[in-house]
Structure 1
């Protein structure tokens, strides 16, 4: 009886999920129900999936509105009708145009016009599929309307938006957030009517007893609508079925491509390679995944034609077919990658191929896919209301000042000590927590479907400009749509650009370098020594303090060790306590045999019986707990969060424990193994995925080893990495570079290098306009270097504000003239008016100005650099108000082991974390006076007493400790050190005082100043 039901995917309007809607329907004895979210289809597929489980017949539709103003409700008669509605909505969402109050001619959909809209627009001449919707509150007005005589056209349109008063309160908050207004100023027109609730069917019958034809028409409408999507275990994939047009053609092409790839990948040949290939091809064909492989091959083939760098990773990296097609660069034979993680007979979804491209190339690759294939869309995702966002949004809704909102956001409050309004913000925040706030785009998921995308969902058009589904990857997989992951990362751009810079800066050394020669790199002692000593600043995935710490603890000095470390660092392994156990077993031979269960050690001998990779979950479930490979894969996928609560996952979990008991394992062992599985399976990498990461790490490590300065320039030019840009500048200096501030004759927009001289790019000058950069570079290309400030001002159209930035950063130092004098010159040259941009007909005539002799100090230059670049080019220790009391640094930690140390450090990064009991603690990394890095830890008692107050130099006192050979400091006391006063402002104060005194002396005209009593 309900044709107009909303969930919280009626964004910033609805108040509960599609599952809760179905539960509400069941409570009210409703057996057939229409979901019609406002201009949204996010919940549609899952509503159909869950309705089947609830014994409710689902109907899908859309509530078409302009803002909150209703136009009409569309109800799909069948799947084609749903596609029609989605196509219509998508057109209006893409073009951002208002929806008309009259529906188009739908062939497979019903249209219901709300009673108020029918009256407002005096609608008439209704088509066979068009109806008038009357709500319970409209029944009172029906007898007084000429539409009461339209007996065959009247249906019950009772909207369902709330369950209770709490939902209505949440709705009002959402509407206020959406309108960016105070709750007290939210207009009634922007809110739904409080009576938009679901009532038992008997109540509806009672309310409509004078109008039985309304209920009959409504029943007819509902029973005329049938929607079906296949969510069964053996559902047919909805991806593009064939690449060539026929299944036979696809299979022949795949075999041909594999044969062509064999000599390139395996020049030595081998029966075991052909055997593995045949096994994979048979399974790929049997599972119907041939086109999936060929589409990925097509994508990477285009990338190679365009000379785009890419890395193929994911579970597909366990496949020899993927290796031969050059989708991945990981040899599954060499690494003994677990075949069943890649694919098995029970697997319903294709293997994952995450293909990383440079952040510069990803958009073109996406555009290629949309051009090359039909029925393509980006995959959507939902951004939900979270803690801080809720506080900020509701703080504004309740009228809190920004300072109070900031205070609440920090979370350091006692609830009982807050005022009433602040408590309301926190209390009401619980009502909207976890609700979707707006639609966004999945990090890299692209759908290529056999049927039009609108068969499954409407699409919206985010700023990227590509149609995007209104559902996420979990729902997509449920219905058989499997994504292609086209991702962007900066690491690949760094590698590509570093090679280009090396060819320009060291052409002889760079000649013949093959960045894809991984077999050579993994055996290179220079590169492996960088790994062992954790000298990895700027290198992909291995530069963070946590990874640097792990490499030192594991004493990693080879490729396979790095592969393992790449997965061990993931949250699941570390939080389960197995990271520590892995390190112990790695460092102490014989511990694995003593501590590991024999079955676990037999399953995973390479990792000492410790689960490290995703496929270890499958192995343990299959060999230890006796689950089938299909059940084991359900278990692995079930760990990924959203699947965890699903019924099929719970069944597999119960069987895991039941089988272990049947095998005679003790409860303590069963719980220990299950907790390990549960703690990390959703976070750990597949081994092939880790191997792919390690390949890219070795490529960047090769460049850091042999072209360190060029590589650091490329790192800086591509947005840095884990650290702030100043630390990559510092690292380049430590590697032998001479760092120069931007120069109008040497610098480019990005950083550039000449020999060992690195010139920072204009891009670091925060307030320098990009158009000014372009003009400078264009003038230099056309007429050569600038000879003076006057020459620059003659050739470059620029305002006094913009040229002042360049002068202050000393970009005209080639002139040999002090920058204060240059500022005078610029002001006198440009005057006070805005320069006009026009061609100069005659050579400029310059006047000679008398400018006083001025000077600049290094200290003043450092503070100017901090203001304009964000960091100083000198050592920050030179800026301390009180010089360091000692010269202790990282190099002195070993000799102070288990003793106490007083050390100064410039803060690099802080990791804030919490103990199991929820207490705050910190891990901090610093640079010492010698430019070397050291690490500290602040345990909860110290973290509660001392705080990090932004970047700067801290003096720490603490105990030097060693864990597996990695030295760090357990801080006992810490104090931030003051910098000297900025001399520029000190000079301004002095000058101001001097001028003030001079005015008092020199202006006797004013009796008040002259001291004259008259």
Structure 2
């Protein structure tokens, strides 16, 4: 089977002249694997056995019944497109340029064009039109036009983005606005679609010999790139015979690298693991060919119980809840769940129907053995695009797999031209074949209607399987090495989500050791008790890499004088700003002795009036001596904004907790549907509007159980007020898909204390 598949693929590849393309991708993959962990696969390329054998992908396409024709067809005209995931794309591209030359590896450009929403806002601002009036139009126009544009094209399911012309035609708000201000309409008609700026493409490069002799090159920020682009509506490369290579970054791969590094330190006695050692561990334990992808413990402990901490594709509450209901037991189950959890399928309630079918498999009616063979793994549903192609091929009369894949594209297009004629031709062959296989014409027509319905949101199986394997790798690490995974997760989460990540770590029973000038490093470390995570110096906002380097290379420090008057420290790198954030983030608390009456006194004497010598320092101590400490509100602000740690104990006192316990009012993390009441602390308010223009709020809250969730607040009014960092209690509703909500803030939200 494998030999025949290789022969078939190689015939197509060689016939279309893409042998060098695959060998170049193999060379890129080889270089990538010398310096970083790479992804199992991405997109339709994972359906290629040739790509798997060459080490470009890590997913066996035959094992998962993935189709090569979904990736590359003999009759197609487009070039192959392999998206390649790595942990650090810039590092890889720099290595390729360094080793192969800047005229061999050339990044492509990205054109940012003037879009309707920004044009309406910018031109209106120029003419002094009130922002509220403009915003009322730009916030509605897409929602007004989308359903009418979909109806025009006969699209019932899936995501659709209206064109510029359709927005102008179907948005009443926009039409009214432009009729009121016709001069703005004139500008828009001229400027829409014009180039706003040119930047470097996120992942695209061209690889070839002596490219400087075959394409224009420009210098942008010290890097040579071509002003040509490829993607969306721009096609500069393919018409001239160039192929774009996409090298893309995926932060999850960084988490996997970090987790393996901690495992090697703690369980293999390797003090400073090299990348070769990290790669060796990955290849022996986590590579899709080595890892046990059917481990029931991983599915039960992570996917069924809902232990979500950086698990790829399961960061949204809705996806988490759906997964807990669906209870996956294998990679295809995960692939189906992630494929269903998108706007199109959700709007058609496919998630609910899928769970019901999975739980009651004896009730599934497939129709015949061929349909059962193709859709059994998804419980009778057409979840993957490849299933439509396979059914057309297996049931139709003389419909090749290539035609089946072409049908997938034709079904999503509406019209009366050549595409419609091709679709009708395949339809006739499909019905004829179904009848020959003992199906009635009505059954064949009904199945075709299913094709049309599901084609609007069917998902690429090759991509879904590849990314589901990556999700499973994360889950495996968290299940068997929880503290190592959590340290890597905290280290790689972006600052905007750091506070929530820290709360999540606490929720899973891990302690967070505050930043300490003598103990904290450059990454989250694990203490000897295996339960405490040590926050790094790099998590302090405003503290640069050069300052951290000075600290680590010159510590330990026994006194504050050793820290601020050290002959070995270059203070132009560890400057006044660095001192300021170090003290306010409480990183220097271990150096504050009884000469200081409090943290504010320590801060004033050390950072506000930075002393040049010990005499000046003593004068500062005496000068600011009456000062004692920062207020609780100041400490809350400094710790949460500088380090991502929210000190809930400063907001909710022990006395208040005892009172709440006496009144049987639980924290939000212990909310009970029967009581419906819980307490929490708002951390952020996001104001939004529904598609009908109704305002609602999303309030992000925390409690002392380390719960961090969003509460949707409906029916808000101008007079409604919610104070950040103050404790509240409220009666809440809960929906498994949408989470917590409240209908009346003024009535339901009660400020405590």
> Do the structures match in fold with TM over 0.5?
yes
What SS class does the counterpart of residue 40 from structure 2 fall into? strand
Q: Residue 559 in 1 paired to residue 327 in 2?
A: no
Aligned counterpart, 1:747: 520
Q: Matches of 1:924 and 1:599 in 2, distance apart?
A: 50
Q: Matches of 1:745 and 1:704 in 2, distance apart?
A: 29
| Pairwise CA distance, 1:291 | 1.9
2:585–2:642: 8 Å Cα contact kept in structure 1? Answer: yes
Aligned counterpart, 1:582: 354
Q: Residue 465 in 1 paired to residue 223 in 2?
A: yes
Map Cα deviations across residues 209-243 of structure 1 (whole Å, 9 max, x no partner).
xxxxxxxxxxxxxxxxxxxxxxxxxxxxxxxxxxx
1:442–1:472: 8 Å Cα contact kept in structure 2? Answer: no
Aligned counterpart, 2:147: none
TM-aligned CA distance change 1:458 to 1:673, over 3 Å = farther
Q: 1:789 aligns with which of 540, 552, 560?
A: 560
Q: 2:246 aligns with which of 485, 494, 510?
A: 485
Q: 1:759 aligns with which of 506, 531, 534?
A: 534
RMSD: 4.7
Aligned counterpart, 2:583: 807
Q: Matches of 1:978 and 1:366 in 2, distance apart?
A: 56
Aligned counterpart, 1:37: none
Map Cα deviations across residues 660-693 of structure 1 (whole Å, 9 max, x no partner).
6777448983774354244124xx23x2222221
TM-aligned CA distance change 1:830 to 1:679, over 3 Å = closer
| Pairwise CA distance, 1:886 | 4.8
| Pairwise CA distance, 1:593 | 0.7
Q: How does 1:919-934 map to 2 (within 5 A)?
A: 929-932=704-707
1:314–1:689: 8 Å Cα contact kept in structure 2? Answer: yes
Aligned counterpart, 2:204: 445
| Pairwise CA distance, 1:274 | 3.4
Aligned counterpart, 1:372: 100
| Pairwise CA distance, 1:606 | 1.7
TM-aligned CA distance change 1:554 to 1:310, over 3 Å = closer
Q: 1:538 aligns with which of 296, 304, 310?
A: 310
Q: Matches of 2:238 and 2:180 in 1, distance apart?
A: 44
1:956–1:973: 8 Å Cα contact kept in structure 2? Answer: no
Aligned counterpart, 2:502: 729
Q: Matches of 2:38 and 2:512 in 1, distance apart?
A: 29
Aligned counterpart, 1:699: 473
Q: Matches of 2:751 and 2:390 in 1, distance apart?
A: 57
What SS class does the counterpart of residue 731 from structure 2 fall into? strand
Structure number with higher relative contact order (C-alpha < 8 Å, ≥ 6 residues apart): 2
Q: How does 1:378-393 map to 2 (within 5 A)?
A: 378-393=107-122
What SS class does the counterpart of residue 311 from structure 1 fall into? coil
Aligned counterpart, 2:286: 516
| Pairwise CA distance, 1:880 | 12
Aligned counterpart, 2:87: 358
What SS class does the counterpart of residue 337 from structure 2 fall into? helix
Q: Matches of 1:877 and 1:276 in 2, distance apart?
A: 64
| Pairwise CA distance, 1:538 | 1.0
| Pairwise CA distance, 1:296 | 1.4
Aligned residues: 683
Q: Matches of 2:80 and 2:350 in 1, distance apart?
A: 27
What SS class does the counterpart of residue 717 from structure 1 fall into? helix
Q: Residue 774 in 1 paired to residue 549 in 2?
A: yes
Q: Matches of 1:598 and 1:948 in 2, distance apart?
A: 61
2:523–2:538: 8 Å Cα contact kept in structure 1? Answer: yes
What SS class does the counterpart of residue 66 from structure 2 fall into? coil
Q: How does 1:33-44 map to 2 (within 5 A)?
A: none
Q: 1:608 aligns with which of 379, 384, 403?
A: 379
TM-aligned CA distance change 1:804 to 1:968, over 3 Å = closer
| Pairwise CA distance, 1:833 | 7.4
Q: How does 1:161-310 map to 2 (within 5 A)?
A: 272-310=1-39
Q: Matches of 1:875 and 1:707 in 2, distance apart?
A: 30
Q: Matches of 1:459 and 1:590 in 2, distance apart?
A: 63
Q: Residue 317 in 1 paired to residue 46 in 2?
A: yes
TM-aligned CA distance change 1:700 to 1:805, over 3 Å = same
Q: Matches of 1:947 and 1:880 in 2, distance apart?
A: 29
What SS class does the counterpart of residue 205 from structure 2 fall into? strand
Aligned counterpart, 1:548: 320
1:299–1:369: 8 Å Cα contact kept in structure 2? Answer: no
What SS class does the counterpart of residue 338 from structure 2 fall into? helix
1:318–1:341: 8 Å Cα contact kept in structure 2? Answer: yes
TM-score by length of structure 1 reads: 0.58
Map Cα deviations across residues 2-44 of structure 1 (whole Å, 9 max, x no partner).
xxxxxxxxxxxxxxxxxxxxxxxxxxxxxxxxxxxxxxxxxxx
TM-aligned CA distance change 1:427 to 1:349, over 3 Å = closer
Q: How does 1:782-931 map to 2 (within 5 A)?
A: 785-795=556-566, 796=569, 797=571, 798-817=574-593, 821=598, 824=601, 847=618, 850=622, 851-852=625-626, 854-855=628-629, 860-874=634-648, 878=652, 886-888=664-666, 896=673, 901-905=676-680, 929-931=704-706
TM-aligned CA distance change 1:646 to 1:585, over 3 Å = same
TM-aligned CA distance change 1:580 to 1:772, over 3 Å = same
Aligned counterpart, 2:145: none
Q: Residue 502 in 1 paired to residue 277 in 2?
A: no
| Pairwise CA distance, 1:469 | 4.3
TM-aligned CA distance change 1:922 to 1:886, over 3 Å = same
Q: Matches of 1:679 and 1:946 in 2, distance apart?
A: 43
TM-score by length of structure 2 reads: 0.76
TM-aligned CA distance change 1:576 to 1:831, over 3 Å = closer
TM-aligned CA distance change 1:488 to 1:391, over 3 Å = same
Q: Matches of 2:723 and 2:218 in 1, distance apart?
A: 40
1:910–1:922: 8 Å Cα contact kept in structure 2? Answer: yes
TM-aligned CA distance change 1:322 to 1:677, over 3 Å = same
Q: Matches of 2:349 and 2:575 in 1, distance apart?
A: 60
Q: How does 1:414-425 map to 2 (within 5 A)?
A: none
2:500–2:708: 8 Å Cα contact kept in structure 1? Answer: no
Map Cα deviations across residues 523-544 of structure 1 (whole Å, 9 max, x no partner).
3333222111221221222222
Aligned counterpart, 1:527: 298
